[in-house]
Amino acid sequence: MDDVFLFVLGIIVAVCVVPYWLKLHYGDKNNANKKNKKNNSNQDIEELNELSDLADSLNKRVLNLESILDNESPDWRKKYE
């Protein structure tokens, strides 16, 4: 009798409790990941804007250096093309 009771109890736990527990456990992780992705996307956008500004400033510096080289040594482009 005790063996049958434990077997039935094990089946009930396996069928009812375990799937619900897994849903709660992994469902919370999925929700947390979605929230982190939203936060990360905002952070990523900010970082991309900063990198874009940095690239623009570096481009201006390169153009400035090229204009200086054009004035100082007009033939420098022929050497590096």
Residue owning tokens 């004035």 = 71
Q: What pLDDT is attached to residue 80?
A: 78
Q: What pLDDT is attached to residue 4?
A: 86
Decide if 12 is inside a domain.
Answer: no
| DSSP code, position 13 | I
Classify 81 as helix, strand or coil.
coil
Token representation of residue 56? 């623009």
Q: What pLDDT is attached to residue 27?
A: 76
| Number of domains making up the chain | 1
Q: What pLDDT is attached to residue 5?
A: 85
Decide if 53 is inside a domain.
Answer: yes
Q: Which residues of 33-66 are buried (b: 16+ CB within 10 A; e: fewer)?
A: eeeeeeeeeeeeeeeeeeeeeeeeeeeeeeeeee
Domain that holds residue 43: 19-74
Specify the higher pLDDT residue, 51 or 15: 51
pLDDT band, residue 63 (cuts 50/70/90): very high
Indicate if the pLDDT at residue 64 is higher than 90: yes
Q: What pLDDT is attached to residue 33?
A: 65
